Structures are given as structure tokens and as C-alpha cells.
Structure 1
Amino acid sequence: MENIKIITTEDGSHSLYHEGLKETYHSFHGALQESVHVFIEKGLRFWRTKSGLPKQVDIFEVGFGTGLNALLTAQFAIDNEVKINFTTIEPYPLDMEIIDQLNYATSIGQDNLKTVFKELHSCKWEENIEISPYFSIHKIKSKLEDFQTDQRFDVLFFDAFAPSKQAELWTADLLQKCFSLLREGGVFTTYSAKGQLKRDLKSVGFEVETLPGPPGKKEMVRGIVN
């Protein structure tokens, strides 16, 4: 992928710059900080706390990308001894040559996660793979509009490229699909806080919350299925 370049964000963790879209995969203020705040704290931990700390969580992610969210989720599962089944879609998987250079395990401060990170990327697609007794991953090469399943999830990480770069991923129709993928009480979380996004989320049935964003970003959005 000649149009993908590795960059270092302000918290020292890597991200990627897509030259074709002129867009980074994460916030340049800090890739690790953003993922922890938006997806782990305001998504996974929030859902689990409000749901009474259940011992199993089913997560669906739009945009596997660098695998940072999956790695942080695997870390959460192991640290909290909670079983997490992680389903993620990605139409354009990254080359291992790029993945092998990313410094996420070191940035997190747990070198043992290097093995986990490599397994997340090297394991087979289209199969459910157990990475640890607490974490399994099912990677699917698909766009959201083409994805079909009868399964329902507790938490949905919406980590597509920004609305200004790929508006087709943020339509009301696809947000309706996200709503239908979640169980009652399910949580949709994303880094964006666009006004149109909030209006569309409300229109398809979500209860919408505007929350403080990660470092360097004023706001983010969370939707709840009630």
C-alpha cells in the first residue's frame, strides 16, 4: 500500500496517513488516547458498568484498520477476566509489512501484547479465532452496506473514516443498520460529533449523548438503544 504512511501522534503512538483520502486513521493528538477514551471507556466500559458487569460482551466494529481497538479490547478482556467476542469488518486489510512496524504494545506499556497484536492480524479471516480464553475475534472482509448477520451485539465501535472524507459511510440508512445490529440497551460509540450525525442517529431511534472528546477534541457522540 504505497499510499499509506506511518506517522507518530502526539502521545507517541503510531497512526497511519492515507494519502489518497488525505486523512489519518486516528487523531494526530494521540491515537492511543483517542481509542481508549472513545471506544474502551465511553463504549465498552460504559456498557458493561450500566449492564451490571456481565461476564460476556459481544462487540461489533466498523473499521478494523490498524487493529488498535481490537488490541485494547483484548487487553480489557484479559485484565478484567471478561469474555469478549469481537466481530470486525474491514474491506481493505493492511499489509503485514505496515502492521509489523506499529508500536501499540510498547505505547500501552505491555510488551506481552506484541504477540496478541500479531495474532489479531495474522489469524484467518472469515473464521472465529480464540486469541485467549477471554477474547475471540471474527474478522470479515466486507463493507458495512454488504454485511449480513442474524447476530446482535452489545456495543458497536463506529470507527470509519471521517464524514468529510467518506460521507457514504455515515448515511442514515447505514446508521439504521447499526441500530438494528444492537440489542436493547446496546451502545454505539464514535469519535465524530457532527450535528448531522446526531440528527441522523436520533432519527433512526438512538438516544444520543454528546460527551467530552479525547485530548485535542472537544466532543464525541454516543448512542443508546432504549
Structure 2
Amino acid sequence: MDREIITTEDGSTTLYIPELNEHYHSIHGAIQESIHIFIKAGIEYYGQKNIRVLEAGFGTGLNAFLTLLEARDNERKVVFHTFEKYPLTPQEVEQINYSDLFTPEDAPLFQQLHDAPWEEDVVITPYFTLHKHRADFEEVNFHKYFDMVFFDAFAPDVQPRLWTESMLSKFYKALKPEGILTTYCVKGTVKQALRNIGFNLKRLPGPPGKREMLRAVK
């Protein structure tokens, strides 16, 4: 599947898949979208000092990178599991500019996320442990293990199977009681599926270019 590097409105890059007409992040700003939906509405809202995160879609590694920086800056210990069936090539990683937009000391950390081996715990910093699963979301099989889910799959119009009740229920089961799921998607069918599974939903103001986002609580 061909992928192109594009620059979004906040200066950060993302990937575009012409075949699907889909971007990995918002064209209005990749970094500001991830901070808004997953860091501020997720990690900071949850507020605990020890957090286990399950991410649907490692993609460019942006959510993991921002979580790593937040954990370090706030002395928060995070164990971060992420699923990705089609990882970036080394050439694509080189073209992603996130590390250029932070301090020079942070740049190697972004590369370490992509260099980390799959299917094992990798300690990136004293505050951030990464476990990458090279697998489809269907293989998510955890029970009351995670505090938080970052649901960052492609849009339901592009990959509807990722937003079905049966798929979303895997992430519900993976969460501890009172665990939260955050996502950019506010489509009616997705909201109904989340409610049917048992989530309590809260619509929140969205990032630039998007009116709303969702936080779902188990």
C-alpha cells in the first residue's frame, strides 16, 4: 500500500494513503490533534502516576512519543501496548519530522520507539515501557488490564470492521473498571456501539478542524 508524507497545518508531518483517501492524522495539525485527544483528554484527565495504555494503531508513533514525553515531564510511569499490522518503513520514519519539532535531546527517543523490537517489553526511559504488537486489532485479548485505550484507527467509513461492537468490545474487556477510551470519532453508529457495550460517553470539544471528540468511561 503506497503512503505519502504530507505536512499538516501545525507544521508536523503525517502519512496519506491515496488508495483509501485517508490520513493518519488531522491535516489541521497532527501534533495538536494527538495532544488534544490522547494526552489532555486521556493521560492528563486520568491523572494517575501509574498508567497502562492500550493503543489501537501505532502508526507514525506520534501518540506513543507524546505519551513518553508527558510521562517523563510529570514523573508518571506508563506501560504502553500498541498494535500495528503495517509498520512504517525506516525511510518513512526518517521523513517524519516530530523529533525536529521538540528539543534535540528528545529526537533519539522517537527513533527508539520505532527501533524497539516487537512482541516484548522495551524500557525506553525510566518512566516509559513500550510493547509493540505486530498484529491486527482482532488479536487484542486482554482482561481488565489497562487504564486507558487510545482508539486511533482509520475512520469507520474507510475501515468499518474496526468500529463494530464485536471489535470495540475487545477494548472494553481490556479496560479496568473506570478505565477510559478516547477517540476522535463521534459518528452516531460508533457512539451507539460504545453505549451498547456498556461505556458511558462524554462528548468533548474537538481539536482544531473538528467540533467534537469522545471520551468513553467503563
TM-score norm. by structure 2 comes to 0.97
For 1:115 and 1:169, locate their aligned partners in 2 and report how far apart those are by CA, in whole Å: 32
Q: Match of 1:100, SS? A: helix
**Matched residues in 1 for 2:13 and 2:149: separation?**
23
Per the alignment, residue 206 of structure 2 pairs with: 213
Alignment partner of 2:197 out of 200, 204, 207? 204
The two structures have a TM-score, normalised by structure 1, of 0.94
Amino acid in structure 2 at the alignment position of 1:66 = T
Structure 1 residues 179-221: Cα deviation after superposition (integer angstroms, max 9, x where no partner): 1010011010001111111111111000001111001110111
Which residue in 2 is equivalent to 1:14?
A: 13
Determine the structure 2 residue equivalent to 1:180: 173
Shift of 1:9: 0.2
Matched with 2:65 is 71
Q: 1:140 maps to which residue? A: 133
Q: How big is the shift at 1:106? A: 2.3
Q: How far 1:147 sits from its partner (Å)?
A: 2.5
- The 3-state SS of whatever aligns with 1:38 is helix
Distance 2:132 2:117 in 1: 8
Distance 2:144 2:105 in 1: 32
| Root mean square deviation of aligned Cα | 1.1
In 1, the alpha carbon distance for the partners of 2:163 and 2:137 equals 10
C-alpha distance in 2 between matches for 1:131 and 1:158: 22
CA contact under 8 A between 1:105 and 1:112: conserved in structure 2?
no
1:96 and 2:90 aligned: yes
Report what 2:186 is aligned to: 193
* 1:54-103 C-alpha deviation (Å, 9 max, x unpaired): 32110000000000000000001100011100000001111011001111
Structure 1: how far apart are the matches of 2:144 and 2:66? 23
- The whole-number CA distance in structure 1 between the counterparts of 2:180 and 2:120 is 25
Task: Could you tell me which runs of 5 or more consecutive residues in structure 1 were left unpaired when the two chains were aligned.
Answer: 49-53
Determine if the alignment matches structure 1 residue 45 to structure 2 residue 44. Answer: yes
Amino acid at match of 1:42: A
Report the Cα distance in structure 1 between the residues aligned to 2:217 and 2:132, rounded to whole angstroms: 25
Moved over 4 A (4+): none
Structure 2: gaps of 5 or more residues: none
Using the alignment, how far apart are the partners of 1:130 and 1:36 within structure 2?
Answer: 22
**Aligned pair in 2 of structure 1 residues 90, 151: CA closer, same or farther (>3 Å)?**
farther
Residue 111 of structure 1, CA deviation: 2.2
Separation in 2, partners of 1:126, 1:191? 27
Tell me which amino acid in the other structure corresponds to 1:148.
N
- 1:161 corresponds to which of 129, 132, 154: 154
Deviations 1:6-58 (A, max 9, x none): 0000000000001221101000000001000001000111112xxxxx32110
Confirm or deny: 8 A CA contact 2:140 2:171 kept in the other structure: no
